[in-house]
């Protein structure tokens, strides 16, 4: 059915991989994955790997779920694709109908697109045009958080705050303002590290001052603020408290600024609730969804907004009030079929509430890392956990970036049948909702072994 050597030879000759320094693969082959089942992937030699990052944070119910597979097969027999302007189809209607029941009732207008980046681009463009349509022509700017990641298209990059990914492209980015991030793990305002359990008591939200300053000074120019609620993923799995979102919602409402929650990574149960914002009292003006929307099967995204925002675009003034944005594969019926089966699983299995026990177990088992001096910080939010690997916690020393400790741990983990994808020296797990206690044990034990081996070899 496949020829591993031919695949590799063709890949080497013709393919350029994402987020990859191709020189790292000059003398190394990429893995050739041919099958997935549950939390495991299998390569062309039959070797199994725990998919600890849910295939870039999108797989929700494990690989090859029978219900989703069947939903796709059934849809294939009906309609594979049709354009979505002036046409609708039952799949798209069912997706938004089912999803509406999960979201706050004010989030009721759904715009389909293709990926996380397009979902945030759409929110930015809608927020911009909303103010234009209302005649508030000066409200054209955006505010984002330090270390934010909202995708790799030019607009999404303009509200990105990760120097490694975004600095080079500065001349291409539109002007936006960056607020200090609520980086609890390195909080300059408190001595002890943030723990999620202490979220309601320990914090006076001093970090909000930076955001407050920008918003109050620039209120007339700001169209919207965009944040990843509770968890800045690409920032290194940086977790912050719901109270930050509540303050942000209060102030943006007071100052007439729109609020965008990018739940591309945090949506669909990953943080322990269906959507991260549901752990706070804050409801945004836009929510961006992708990745888990189709349970990791097919590319599809949604930008969901409020009725008054939608109404500002409904007009006889075709030229200036229409939202001229769309993608060829908008609301693709196959992707909708996968999303429907995904949403049905959330309903029938009462996800993620029914997984509370395994989550508590994950929290408890993460504590095994506490005793190691080479672990700087441990964090967890729902099915996402992370540890920072350091030279010495006691001496507050990190490894020099040139040593690429995270990359070494990645290579070592492969020998342990584990697929990790560290962010610098942060080792994280972005687990699917169906993981068992046994999976958690195996994944954490194998990760610990890989970390210990690399740290021991690295010395001081």
The residue (of 142 and 149) whose beta carbon lies closer to ligand PLP is 149
Rule CB under 6 A: say whether 265 interacts with ligand PLP. Answer: yes
340 binds ligand PLP (CB under 6 A): no
Helix (H) or strand (E) holding 83, with range, is none
Which residues make beta-bridge pairs with 36? 41
**Tokens at residue 183, please?**
């980086």
What are the start-end ranges of the H helices in 141-296?
154-158, 163-166, 208-218, 242-255
Helix (H, G, I), strand (E, B) or coil at 107: strand
- Of 87-95, 113-121, 352-360, 420-428, the segment contacting ligand PLP by CB under 6 A is 113-121
Question: Which region, judged by CB under 6 A, interacts with ligand PLP, from 39-47, 71-79, 134-142, 146-154?
Answer: 146-154
Min separation Cβ 138 and ligand PLP, Å: 27
Q: Please identify which residue in the block is written with the tokens 């590799």.
A: 8
Confirm if 285 and 312 have CB atoms less than 8 A apart.
Answer: no
Cβ distance to ligand PLP smaller for residue 120 or 129: 120
Helix, strand and coil in the chain, % to nearest 5: 40, 15, 40
155 binds ligand PLP (CB under 6 A): no
Least distance to ligand PLP from the beta carbon of 81, Å? 19
Name residues whose C-beta falls within 8 Å of residue 102's C-beta, 6 or more positions apart in sequence: 274, 275, 343, 346
Residue 262 interacting with ligand PLP (CB under 6 A): yes
151 belongs to the binding site for ligand PLP (CB under 6 A): yes
The SS3 call for residue 361 is helix
Total residues contacting ligand PLP by CB under 6 A comes to 15
Shortest CA distance to 38 belongs to which of 58, 62, 59? 62
Choosing from 233, 269, 333, 352, the residue that interacts with ligand PLP (CB under 6 A) is 233
C-alpha dist (Å) from residue 173 to 142, 150, 165, 168, 272: 12, 13, 12, 10, 34
Tokens representing residue 407 in the block: 């990359």
Could you tell me the smallest distance in angstroms from the CB atom of residue 273 to ligand PLP?
16
Q: Pick from 228, 285, 341, 439: which binds ligand PLP (CB under 6 A)?
A: 228
Token pair, residue 55, equals: 């295939």
Q: Judged by CB under 6 A, does residue 343 bind ligand PLP?
A: no
- Residue 120 near ligand PLP by CB under 6 A: yes
- Toward ligand PLP, which CB reaches closer, 117 or 214? 117
State yes or no: residue 117 binds ligand PLP (CB under 6 A). Answer: yes
Q: Is 146 in the site for ligand PLP (CB under 6 A)?
A: no
Query: Which residues of the chain form contacts with ligand PLP (CB under 6 A)?
Result: 57, 115-117, 120, 149-151, 228, 233-234, 262, 264-265, 290
């Amino acid at each position: 059915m496949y020829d591993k050597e031919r695949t590799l030879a063709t890949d080497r000759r013709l393919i350029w991989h994402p987020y990859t320094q191709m020189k790292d693969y000059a003398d190394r082959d990429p893995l050739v994955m041919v099958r997935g089942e549950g939390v495991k992937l299998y390569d062309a030699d039959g070797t199994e790997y725990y998919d600890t990052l849910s295939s870039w944070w999108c797989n929700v119910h494990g690989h090859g779920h029978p219900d989703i597979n069947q939903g796709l097969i059934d849809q294939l027999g009906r309609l594979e694709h049709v354009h979505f302007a002036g046409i609708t189809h039952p799949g798209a209607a069912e997706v938004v109908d089912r999803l509406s029941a999960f979201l706050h009732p004010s989030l009721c207008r759904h715009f389909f697109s293709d990926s996380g980046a397009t979902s945030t681009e759409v929110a930015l463009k809608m927020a911009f045009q909303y103010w234009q349509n209302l005649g508030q022509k000066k409200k054209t700017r955006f505010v984002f958080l330090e270390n934010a990641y909202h995708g790799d298209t030019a607009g999404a990059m303009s509200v990105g705050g990760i120097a490694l990914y975004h600095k080079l492209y500065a001349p291409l980015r539109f002007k936006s303002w960056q607020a200090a991030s609520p980086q609890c793990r390195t909080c300059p305002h408190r001595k002890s590290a943030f723990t999620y359990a202490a979220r309601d008591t320990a914090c006076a939200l001093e970090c909000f001052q930076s955001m407050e300053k920008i918003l109050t000074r620039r209120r007339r120019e700001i169209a919207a603020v965009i944040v990843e609620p509770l968890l800045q993923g690409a920032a290194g799995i940086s977790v912050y408290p719901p109270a930050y979102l509540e303050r942000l919602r209060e102030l943006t409402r007071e100052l007439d600024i729109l609020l965008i929650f990018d739940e591309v990574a945090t949506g669909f149960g990953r943080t322990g609730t269906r959507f991260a914002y549901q752990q706070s009292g804050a409801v945004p003006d836009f929510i961006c969804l992708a990745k888990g929307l189709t349970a990791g099967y097919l590319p599809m995204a949604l930008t969901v907004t409020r009725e008054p925002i939608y109404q500002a675009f409904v007009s006889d003034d075709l030229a200036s009030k229409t939202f001229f944005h769309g993608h060829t594969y908008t609301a693709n019926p196959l992707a909708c079929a996968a999303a429907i089966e995904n949403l049905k699983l959330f309903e029938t299995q009462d996800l993620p509430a029914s997984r509370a026990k395994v989550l508590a177990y994950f929290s408890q088992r993460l504590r095994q890392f506490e005793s190691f001096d080479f672990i700087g910080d441990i964090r967890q939010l729902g099915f996402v956990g992370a540890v920072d690997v350091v030279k010495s916690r006691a001496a507050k020393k990190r490894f020099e970036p040139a040593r690429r400790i995270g990359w070494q741990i990645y290579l070592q983990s492969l020998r342990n049948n584990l697929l990790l994808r560290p962010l610098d020296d942060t080792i994280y797990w972005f687990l699917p909702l169906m993981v068992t206690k046994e999976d958690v044990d195996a994944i954490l034990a194998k990760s610990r072994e890989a970390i210990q081996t690399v740290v021991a070899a690295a010395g001081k």
